Chains A and B, each alone.
Chain A
């Protein structure tokens, strides 16, 4: 990590920590939503982009995270944010158990299997009277928190969850399991044949993704103080995750970040600028009146920035390679083997002066 990027990260951290003092209520709530969605999208990206597991049922972990938090908080009569770790733990445990069964299914069967599992959990919870049935349940223990701190706490937790999801995915991908995952994504048969434990790699990714999703879901519903099966287990959760990941770039760490910016910009455009009620996702999560007024010129600038960033990703990056080999035939065959559009190969017979070497 360079000095500059460390500085930028530190500044971003300070800006986020001080967020409640310089952001208005509307933007803060908006950013909390955005960060939580970013965290969820990142976990979906880990599954679909790296582990080759396209799940249509990740909303089950959003809902389970929310319900486990609500139930524990009420049972122990503790402020919801103190029992937050319960949500990822419960989700990880459930994921570990259902993975034993659902991993028998492949591709489309797995996608629909997870969705149906989510529906089963949702319908079961809506039959349990003690959890409020279809009407859902409130979060009376939120009284234990000073109401002035509720929104700043939500904001900090959302920011931390998003940062955790990105850093966590990054760390996972650099580990042994992560390297295994990437070989599994590219070709699971080939991966198995070189000794990668395909099942175990997928299992780890599935359990961790569930934990992340559960944490984000718990924070999201703790902020609204109310959870109902139709909201918590709404398939729209996974649909938005999917949208964000696919539009930003699946299988890349930065994809969900770009995607979430595009998604929220589009929702804003539709709800604020065109004043349509079609914020089909936002309208029940964020009252339109709370959204800050956006100057159309600024929005246009945002769109331009986003577009430029997309262009940046699309432009191919050429790698430069220096091949030093004194045997002519071997050198030519190496060049032949390596040749590809995105690689620029320079072949020489002996080690040139260091100044003549290609940079990196």
Chain B
């Protein structure tokens, strides 16, 4: 029974990992940019959440998700408009890597200067420990909420990209940024919104993760690695692949921790290596 519970919790936790990665998948898919500052933005949004919770003590952290996501959207929009758009047209893929790496270093140090290097968590009151019994299994309320939120955001993203006019423009820009300009689309502006969206999604995941585990200004690298693993495990550029990849990693991590308590994410990494070695293009990636 305890194993089933662990697996269920892993699935719930994994939804969060999927959410961490989907922003990265979106950026890679649309503008072929590898954003090395993704992890720092995830951590920054958690710091913004903690600060907001400090300023407004009565407000529940889950309600703060909305303003944090809006702030993250603005930051992403600004980052893209001011910096990344300058290098995105270069044929050399390293230009954007170098730029976002620089952004990551600056952000990490600014966060140390402003917030200090102590580990923090986002207090969520009673909700953090509340649990309920479903079909004889004891499951946390927060993980269920997290999974519901992840699935809802995934569905929403999928609908926006596949069904709306904006989504059509994004897909067309991803296919060929020169041709869409002939149709009156400004690719730079599309990229601004896409980066904003990606970081807004990442900020929600970052806040939720901050409720579950502590973070420091240096946590960005771990968060970045999880995001990368999720994206690569699912197969580059597929959203649902990222979700499934996240869940697989979440289950592997929690099951691993159950029989080897100080393993950390070791078993998630091992699962990643095994799966990617068997399927070199990820679970749902297109064959080359």
A residues within 8 A CB of B105?
A: 280
A108 contacts partner chain B, Cβ-Cβ < 8 Å: yes
- Residues on B lying within 8 angstroms of A by beta carbon are 28, 34, 94, 97-98, 101, 105, 108-109, 112-113, 221, 225, 228-229, 232, 236, 262-266, 269-270, 272-273, 276-277, 280-282, 288
A346 contacts partner chain B, Cβ-Cβ < 8 Å: no
Q: Chain A nearest CB: distance from B235 CB in Å? A: 9
* A112-B269 contact, Cβ under 8 Å, with A101-B277, A235-B221, A246-B94: no
A residues within 8 A CB of B232?
A: 108-109, 112-113
B229 touches A109 (CB 8 A): no
Selected contact of A117 from candidates B34, B101, B273, B280, CB within 8 Å: B273
Tell me the bound Cα distance from A115 to B222 in angstroms.
11
* A119-145 interface with B by 8 A CB criterion: 119-120, 123-124, 127
CB nearest neighbor in B for A134? B262
* A127-B262 contact, Cβ under 8 Å, with A243-B98, A246-B97, A280-B105: yes
Which of A109, A247, A276: most chain B Cβ within 10 A? A109
CB nearest neighbor in B for A123? B266
B265 touches A115 (CB 8 A): no
A109 touches B282 (CB 8 A): yes
B residues within 8 A CB of A278?
A: 109, 112-113
B269 touches A116 (CB 8 A): yes
A120 touches B94 (CB 8 A): no
**What are some 8 contacts across the A-B interface (CB < 8 A)?**
A101-B273, A108-B232, A127-B262, A239-B101, A246-B94, A247-B98, A250-B94, A278-B113
Having A109-B280, A127-B263, A280-B105, one finds 6 other A-B pairs with CB under 8 Å, namely A105-B277, A108-B34, A113-B273, A120-B273, A235-B225, A278-B112
A residues within 8 A CB of B276?
A: 105, 109, 113
A124 touches B266 (CB 8 A): yes
A120 touches B108 (CB 8 A): no
Tell me the bound Cα distance from A345 to B288 in angstroms.
42
Convert A89-120 into 0s and 1s, putting 1 for each residue whose CB lies closer than 8 angstroms to a CB of B: 00000000000010011101100110111011
B residues within 8 A CB of A119?
A: 225, 265, 269
Q: Chain B nearest CB: distance from A114 CB in Å? A: 10
A residues within 8 A CB of B229?
A: 112, 116
B269 touches A123 (CB 8 A): yes
| Interface pairs A-B: 5 shortest CB-CB | A278-B109, A123-B266, A112-B232, A112-B228, A120-B269
A40 contacts partner chain B, Cβ-Cβ < 8 Å: no
A residues within 8 A CB of B288?
A: 106
CB nearest neighbor in B for A115? B225
Q: Chain B nearest CB: distance from A98 CB in Å? A: 10
A residues within 8 A CB of B236?
A: 108-109
A87 contacts partner chain B, Cβ-Cβ < 8 Å: no
Q: Chain A nearest CB: distance from B95 CB in Å? A: 9
A105 touches B280 (CB 8 A): yes
